[in-house]
Amino acid sequence: MHVFVIPTQRFLACHVCEGLVFAQREIKMTTTGMTFFDLDWLNKSADGAICVRCGYVHTFMGNAHQWVPPEQVKEGDLPADPLAGTTPPGPVD
């Protein structure tokens, strides 16, 4: 999926590898006070956008982003992907 960031009116590109495709996962925002009292389940949740290329986790709180299926995105709306069509380097022999 792609992530549209509402305040910037642009699609998210990974901060590490500039990937454009993300997996979605709920992330608990753990606090020491709630953990001390064994009440972690009361902590707020964030929306995690995990880069499928490198695994970096981007965290969003609130509703400043929107998940968009790839089939609904026009190619020209996405930022340029500098690694498109390349293969990552393998181990050195």
Q: What confidence tier does 11 reach under pLDDT thresholds 50, 70, 90?
A: very high
d(CA 90, CA 93): 9
The pLDDT assigned to 44 comes to: 75
The pLDDT assigned to 86 comes to: 64
Q: What confidence tier does 42 reach under pLDDT thresholds 50, 70, 90?
A: low
The pLDDT assigned to 80 comes to: 84
How many angstroms from the chain centroid is the CA of residue 87? 21
Ramachandran angles phi, psi of 30, nearest 5°: -70, 135
Given a cut of 80, whether residue 93 has pLDDT beyond it is no
The pLDDT assigned to 40 comes to: 66
pLDDT in tens, 45-74: 889 999 999 999 999 988 889 899 988 988
Break the chain into its structural domains and give their ranges: 2-73
Give 89's contacts (C-beta < 8 A, 6+ positions apart).
Answer: none
